[in-house]
Structures are given as structure tokens and as C-alpha cells.
Amino acid sequence: MDIIRIIIAIILPPLGVFLQVGLGKHFWLNILLTILGYIPGIVHAVWIIAKK
């Protein structure tokens, strides 16, 4: 299941974080990082998914 979340995180980072942690602080941080730059959003999303 984590492989699917990582693939989703690469395509749409906030969705991958949402599927992992819900509407918490990490979700909103990831939206901000994705707006500021797509790559930081991906890195943060994969990090959140791999951490759990």
C-alpha cells in the first residue's frame, strides 16, 4: 500500500500526505511546499509516507 501512496505523492504530493495523515499540519505544510515548488512538495510527501 505504501508503494501506491508514494506513486500518488509523486503525481500529486498533497493527496499522498492526506492519505497518510489526514487534514493535519503536515497536509497544510505540504500544500505550501507544493505551491512554492513542486520538488519540495514531493520530497516532503515521500518523507512523511516513509516515516510511518
Q: E-strand spans in the chain?
A: none
Tell me if the pTM is above 0.75.
yes
Q: Read off the pLDDT of residues 5-45 as tens digits, 9 standing for 90 and up.
A: 999 999 999 999 999 999 999 999 999 999 999 999 999 99
Split at pLDDT 50, 70, 90, the class of 52 is: confident
Task: Give the model's pLDDT for residue 35.
Answer: 96
3-state SS, residue 1: coil
Give the angle subtended at the CA of 49 by the CAs of 3 and 44, to the nearest 5°. 120
* Domain that residue 39 falls in: 2-51
The one-character DSSP state at 24 is S
Per-residue three-class SS string for 20-40: HHCCCHHHHHHHHHHHHCHHH
Q: How far apart are CA 5 and CA 32, in angstroms?
A: 19
Task: Give the model's pLDDT for residue 8.
Answer: 93
How many domains are there within the chain?
1
